[in-house]
Amino acid sequence: MFVDKAGEHLADIMTVNRSLSAIPSASSILDTSNYTFQAISYGKDAAGFKYHAHTILTPSGDGIIKVISYGNKSASNYSPSATAAYLNYNQYPSSPKPTDTRLEPNSTAPNYSSGVPDLGQYLNPTIHPQLSSMAHLIGGIPSAGGSKYQIFDTSNNLILSGVLLGSIYNLSGLMDSSGFLNFVQAPLDIQQFLYTYSEDLNTYPDSICLGVIRSAESNFPSEVSLKWGLFGGECGALSLFGGVYHIGLWCLDIKQMLKEGNSPPYSFNPLNNKRRYKLFAKKTFNKDLTFNEDEFGLSSFKVLFQDGSGWDFALPVIVLKWNIKFV
């Protein structure tokens, strides 16, 4: 769904003052890239931020993502929906509304909330200077080197543990601490090249590791396509923290940045991102995108998300494509 802010964004574009072009110091405001799609983010139901790996289990300061599995005792994975069913809480994400300005309108403060911003979406606290030591409680993106995890059953028996695959988002500096995944910053012809080659990930696995790719080829100008990957480490951690039910598409909030005295160019710096974003569109799912279940006696969680399983950490577990139709 495109939210009202998308219409506001278009009205902003139509009313940018022409006279800025005559002011050298201000003319960079007019760069088209300031007005196009610039970020993707992930979210889930608000209540879920109080459960799953957000639950504070002792010892709480050991940096290990810990979760109690309420699902099938013989399964070697984690099921957020089984947790919701067992603990009888409403796991449904809020329905998308045109007036939404964030993915989840209700509070998304986790149990460990000290200094944690309530942004309505998953954060990436691993790279936050003050929050990184509690990233295993805040969620939901693992560290670049891979995060340790433990899954217990309801009797406190350890049923699965290991180290998640390293986060491509953090290894490549693609996501800021607020959870905004950056777009590929390259000329369109290079993005086109990446988009095409990412159709064959076995041969060109790196083609999708640079962020969200935009394409203006086959159905352009009727359609603009976006494509990006959700990698094993990210997918595993997000599953432990309750899964993915929202995806947001964001543009830059130029007015807000100018109000804060932040002048262009608005380059992306994951460690100190001065960019402010405005929600343009969101997609809400009624099924967890990270859903996985054991098959043939193998732990899906281990095979897909765990370091040493043989799964290439640079190969996405999920490839997401979002087609925006214009005509």
Residue 31 vs 293, nearer CB to another protein: 31
Here's the x/- map for another protein, 301-320, by CB under 8 A: it reads as -------------------x
Residue 34 vs 150, nearer CB to another protein: 34
Site for another protein (CB under 8 A): how many residues? 44
96 binds another protein (CB under 8 A): no
Here the tokens at position 150 are: 């433990």
Here's the x/- map for another protein, 213-232, by CB under 8 A: it reads as -xxx---xxxxx--------
158 binds another protein (CB under 8 A): no
CB 124 within 8 A of CB 176: yes
Q: Which helix (DSSP H) or strand (DSSP E) does residue 280 occupy?
A: strand 277-284
188 binds another protein (CB under 8 A): yes
258 binds another protein (CB under 8 A): no
Here the tokens at position 218 are: 């086959």
Here the tokens at position 5 are: 């802010």
Residue length of the chain: 327
Q: How far apart are CA 313 and CA 165, in angstroms?
A: 6
DSSP, collapsed to helix, strand or coil, labels residue 34 as helix
Residue 139 vs 248, nearer CB to another protein: 248
Per the listing, tokens 């601490």 go with: 177
Look at strands 65-68 and 148-152 and give their pairing.
parallel
38 binds another protein (CB under 8 A): no
28 binds another protein (CB under 8 A): no
Q: Residues 6 or more apart from 16 whose CB is under 8 A from it?
A: 29, 30
Question: Which residues contact another protein by CB under 8 A?
Answer: 1-2, 4, 6-8, 10-11, 13-19, 21, 30-37, 188, 214-216, 220-224, 247, 281, 283, 320-327
